[in-house]
Amino acid sequence: MMSEKRIYFDNNATTPVDPRVLEAMLPYFTEKFGNAASNTHIFGWDAAEAVDKAREQVASIIGAQANDIVFTSGATESDNIALKGTLEKYSDKGNHLITVKTEHKAILDSAKYLMEKGYRVTFMDVGEDGRVIPEQLEEAITPETVLISVMFANNETGVIHPIEEIGKIAAKHDIFFHCDATQAVGKVPIDVQKLGIHLLSMSGHKIYGPKGVGVLYARSRNPKVRPNPVIHGGGHEQKMRSGTLNVPGIVGIGTACEICERELPTESVMLSNLRDRLENGILERIEEAYVNGSREHRIPNTSNISFNYIEGESIMLTMKNIAVSSGSACTSASLSKSYVLDAMGCTDALAHASLRFSLGRFNTGDEVDYVIGSLVKAVKRLREMSPLYEMAQKGINLDSYKWTDPKHEH
């Protein structure tokens, strides 16, 4: 008996390692296994040379200088250094951080930690399209504001914030600007100089590189920003991130960046075509389906869609062979509604009914068509079982319907 076709549409959670990336990494596990800090022999020199090359490759994709690239264990660590390290280092300038309610948990939880330490944090609202409003952000600035942290593109909706406008606001007020660009690198062009970004976080495993390696870009001039370390030790990575360098991982993220930069023009078109094909197929064949967030300002691979009257988790369980996500992968162990959609003003019902489809380099049009067909069947079956859908079909207004509250006995 043939097994069911397995399809992966969860590339915002993680991506498979590109075979070309793996090929570049392999020698650094066995033949060229030296410690990049061992500067007295050829094994260390080989490792250091590979790290230097990767620094150039990473810097190139974001328009940075190689000496501004700090290697970390991933974007979560980079976010922690950017927020905690910058606020601590520049505490003489002030104690205020501005960020956004729809940020990744690595930012939100770091911000909450800073609040516990006595720093002030402003969490900005977003519009229904999921974007922060620059004018409102500027109004939140005080003489004590040290750092603005706004993600480039949201991991759940793919919505892109007005980054260049925020960069100009930060420059105007002489404030550092950090951008978590984990979901944007390799999907849209990024130039940290043009955009006015002083600190940027990214991760290897979102761009067909390995897990366990990331980058913090920290600008060294105009203005210079050097956050305090979160991890202390041998003073590696310009004393910002101690620890023996993960040379195979660093080679992997460097190679992944080089491939992404080279293939971005064609790949972004391919992905947006697949996404549009998926969205159009779903919206044409399934009623009461809604795309969440701006359709104009977003990365090319992501579509977040709510299917009214059914739970997103129920659809996922019905299509076990298709990998999508409900809410964000980092919080998917919890069945609570998406805080991102909640911040965008999405109703509880629609927030619980959402699925995120995130396409990748290795997906095909045939897979898109298969997913549309499977989704149509799953939604039809679940709605047939849904009393809410049946009531709506009868013309009952569920928003104004008076529900009886059954007594619960303990």
Residues labelled catalytic: 330
> Cβ contacts of residue 25 below 8 Å, gap of 6+?
210, 248, 249, 251, 252, 255
Distance CA 60, CA 361 (A): 21
CA dihedral sign, ordered 304, 308, 311, 315 = negative
CB atoms within 10 A of CB 237: 20
Distance CA 67, CA 281 (A): 46
Closest CA to 146 of 181, 182, 109, 99: 99
> What one-character DSSP code corresponds to residue 254?
H
- H or E segment to which residue 298 belongs: none
Closest CA to 130 of 155, 148, 112, 157: 157
Q: What are the distances in angstroms from CA 247 to CA 13, 21, 290, 355, 402? A: 23, 13, 44, 36, 62
Distance of CA 31 to the CA centre of its chain: 34
Q: Are 201 and 178 in contact (CB under 8 A)?
A: yes
Residue 76 dihedral angles phi and psi, to the nearest 5°: -60, -45
Distance CA 69, CA 308 (A): 45
Distance CA 71, CA 230 (A): 13
Distance CA 77, CA 286 (A): 41
Closest CA to 179 of 251, 265, 86: 86
Closest CA to 303 of 5, 11, 4, 2: 11
> Cβ contacts of residue 79 below 8 Å, gap of 6+?
104, 106, 107, 110, 149, 180, 201
Q: Where are the alpha helices (DSSP H) in 95-199?
A: 105-116, 134-139, 163-172, 192-195
